[in-house]
Amino acid sequence: MKRTKQSKLLAVLLTVAMMLTLVPTVVFAADNSVCKIGETGYPSLTDAVYEAADGQEIVLLDSVELTEKLTINKKLTLNIGTYTLSSTVVSGAALDIKAEVTITGSGTIQGADRESNSPVATAYLLQVGSGAKLTLENVVVQPGKTQTGGSTASATTGIYVSGGTLVLNGATVKGGDSIGKGNGGYAVYVFGSSSQLTADDATMIGGAVERTGAVNNSGGRAVYIQNGNAVLNNCTLTGGSAKSTMEDYYSANGGEALYIQSEGTAVVTGGTLTGGASNQTNNGGAGGTAVYAPGGSKANLTFSDVDIVGGNSENGQGGNAIALMGPSTVAVKENSTVVGGNGGRYAGTAVNLGSYSATGTFSIVNSSVSAGAGPVFSSYGTAIDFGNNDSDDRIAVTVEGSVISGGEDGNSIYAKETAIEKGKLILKNSELKGSVMLSKVGGGYSYSFAKEQLSAMTNGEDQDIWQDENGNVQIGSAPEGEQDIRPIQNTTTGTYYVSLEKALAEADNGHVIKLLANIQYETNGTGLFNITKSITLDGDGHTISGYGKRASNSTTLAINNGGTDKVHVTLKNL
């Protein structure tokens, strides 16, 4: 039986129709798919996350905008490529991570601009919840700007880690900028003892602030740790910048690079930590502190081969590089540099340990510490300041194999005399550039530390103390021909002293104690010199002058052999 042309055409059409039913869905969805899993396309990222099986990868095909919070509670990889993943969410978290999630690509996760008039109107672009782990590889996290009407409101935080783990590999995370009365947003906020930040070759920048109201405000913190932990390798942390053109007495201050609240641990190797810059038209605004732990906060910090720099201030105070106000254990080592910020009005301090509540230990090994620069008319910069630290339980500082510089005409160290005498500053094989300013008991200051406190500063160790050709004090092994600057020597043992009392106490029978400089005691400054060994006291043409204390009357200085004929003291050239 012959087939008609019509029947042949019908058969062809049926065959084509059957074939079309076998074509994958992605062909039909190609025009409106924004992402895919394998070869299956999806019109929304929310749908793809919902449909994805544990361990699958979602790949963006285009930029995506989230209009509500997206929660990811399964193990996934999200490859955003070069696209932008944006959100219109303005409170809480835009992207809530509750499982093990990796986000890769060179694109941007972008937050929404918002307004905030309430101190509690917080927002996080990403949140890492308890037990979750978020890994960001090379992506950029950029919260939107916040118009802040409330004086204590803050801009959006980039990533909030609450009981989970955040891993940054080559990623950049920023805090949201603030315009108005509020503060800049944090780049990364690590909250809770089970929270962990691990970063390699990452950049974290606090949000900038533009002050337009009659309040003090600050740029955002790059990393804010509250009872959490961080390991940072070759990272760049920068506090948020601040600016203001208002002519009033309020300040727009730079933000901190690393801020420890309550308690926090950080191990930092390589990289740079810099306080935020301040640019205010009047004589206000301070540069941000690079590393800061406020009063009562316990900081456990180790820095190796790290540059730590206080923020600069165009017309105000340069920022501290490190400021510790609570119980801390901090080590700066392996070629690290610590530098105070430059200030248009005042130079920044490199290490500020001046709080009455600063306790614990601070060590600087094989590194350098320098004060910032300031104008000639201002108070000079200080490299290490613990001028209010004078009790037994307050922070102790050890400097070994390092250079401590007060900058041009500044102080290398500012401390209380009592702190030095109690061994709160120990120097080993180090160099001091600039004066050591000592706050004296009863008021006033002294710059003559070398003749009174050096024994305590060297912890009684047998180290040479000399001045180089530039007048800088150096401690360690003196080059041949350099004269020790301590005024007393036991020529029998070769030991130098700053205290005649200690030289006499440590001498044995037959030793010779020689003066290398005049010794001046304060009025009513000393009692009798009780010499209990048969020694020779050689003045070498120098003098011992001042008044002693004998009973209730001031007398001239007296040397006493202890009232025994068994001790024979020889006075020579005195």
Residue-averaged pLDDT of the chain: 84
Consecutive 10-residue averages of pLDDT for the chain (574 residues): 49 48 43 92 97 97 96 98 95 94 98 74 87 98 86 85 98 95 93 97 96 84 98 98 84 95 97 96 88 94 98 94 94 97 92 84 96 73 80 82 83 80 81 77 60 53 68 71 79 83 87 86 54 88 68 49 70 86
At residue 99, the pLDDT reads 98
User: Which two tokens mark 162?
Assistant: 């609450």
- In a 3-state reduction of DSSP, which class is residue 128? strand
At residue 342, the pLDDT reads 93
**196-226: burial string, b at 16+ Cβ within 10 Å, e else:** bbbbbbbbbbbbbbbbbbebbbbbbbbbbbb
pTM for the full predicted model? 0.82
User: Which two tokens mark 131?
Assistant: 């037990």
Question: CB-based contacts of 381: which residues, under 8 Å, 6+ apart?
Answer: 318, 340, 347, 348, 349, 350, 371, 372, 373, 374, 406, 407, 410, 411
Length of the chain: 574
CA distances from 508 to 138, 142, 499, 516, 535 (A): 70, 72, 16, 20, 7
At residue 212, the pLDDT reads 78
Question: CB-based contacts of 526: which residues, under 8 Å, 6+ apart?
Answer: 501, 546, 548, 549, 557
Question: CB-based contacts of 120: which residues, under 8 Å, 6+ apart?
Answer: none
At residue 525, the pLDDT reads 46
At residue 230, the pLDDT reads 98
- String of DSSP letters for 328-374: EEEEEESS-EEEPPPBSSBPPPSEE---TT-EEEEEEES-EEE----
Closest CA to 315 of 249, 382, 220: 249
User: Which two tokens mark 308?
Assistant: 């730590």
At residue 565, the pLDDT reads 64
